[in-house]
Amino acid sequence: MRVRATTHISATPGKGCTNGCSPPGGGARWSGQTGGTGGVDDAFSQLFAPGIGAEIMGAGKFGHPGWHEDPDWKGAWGPNPPFHTPVFVLTHHPRPSIEMEGGTTFHFIDASPAEALETAREAADGQDVRLGGGPTMVRDFLAAGLVDNMHIVVVPILLGRGVGLWDGLEGLEKNYQIEATSSPSGVTHLTFTRAGV
């Protein structure tokens, strides 16, 4: 069983800025797609779901700031979220689990990366655990040495704000084999594979 991280970042002068960022004035300035458009992008997007038995995501990916104060909030994906596995939402505001259509059940836990991973591994029943983001959560798991494989999509847009994925992770590249694949859509797919995995 592997721990896989998947996220999208945007190239900005000086440092990467992760998903959830917006360009100055709002609205995307890049019209390309990050997957599912054919060719290389489609090949990578097809790797998203197979072999995943559980997902871990941060509170910011599950919902907008303050979602924990709304007892009816069930995420932004509608009644049948795309995960189809147990999903463990890391939050300082645990609440009862929410069972959705299609096999997704959201569990809300206040745990360290290692504790959350142990819980997700048990639920994954021998399959891989995906780290779905956001960037701060992925960075915490990387800093703890818990990520086996990572796929990052670098999107060429200029953003005005956001969270740097690499902050505090200097030297990370020494532990991974890194490959870059460019796409005609304008994005670059980076894959990180831990040495020995």
pLDDT at residue number 124: 94
Residue 126 token pair: 């021998």
Longest dimension (CA), the chain: 45
Query: How far apart, in whole angstroms, are the C-alpha atoms of residue 99 and residue 102?
Result: 9
pTM above 0.85?
no
| pLDDT tens readout for residues 15-57 | 444 544 333 333 333 333 344 456 888 887 877 778 899 999 9
Q: Within 13 A of 158's CA, how many CA atoms are on the CB side?
A: 3
52: left (phi over 0), alpha (psi -120 to 50) or beta: beta
